[in-house]
C-alpha cells in the first residue's frame, strides 16, 4: 500500500470532487437559463 495507495486515493478523491463540482454547478446554470426563458415568456405574454 504505502505511497502508491495514497496517491491513488488522492486521485480518486480529486476526480470525485471534480465530478461533484460539475453536477453542482450545471443545475445552477440550467436553473438560471430556465428562469431567464420563463421571464422572457412571461414578458412576451404581458406585451400581447
pLDDT tens readout for residues 4-48: 788 888 888 888 898 888 888 787 888 888 889 999 999 988 888
Q: How confident is the model at residue 2 (pLDDT cuts 50, 70, 90)?
A: low
Report pLDDT for 42: 92
3 pLDDT higher than 60? yes
Q: Give the predicted TM-score (pTM) of the model.
A: 0.53
Q: Scanning the structure block, which residue is given the C-alpha cell 450545471?
A: 26
Q: Does position 1 have pLDDT exceeding 60, yes or no? A: no
CA 7 to chain centre: 26
Residue for grid cell 502508491:
4
Amino acid at each position: 500500500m504505502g505511497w502508491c495507495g495514497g496517491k491513488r486515493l488522492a486521485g480518486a478523491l480529486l476526480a470525485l470532487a471534480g465530478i461533484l463540482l460539475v453536477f453542482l454547478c450545471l443545475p445552477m446554470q440550467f436553473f438560471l437559463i430556465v428562469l431567464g426563458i420563463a421571464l422572457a415568456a412571461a414578458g412576451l405574454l404581458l406585451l400581447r
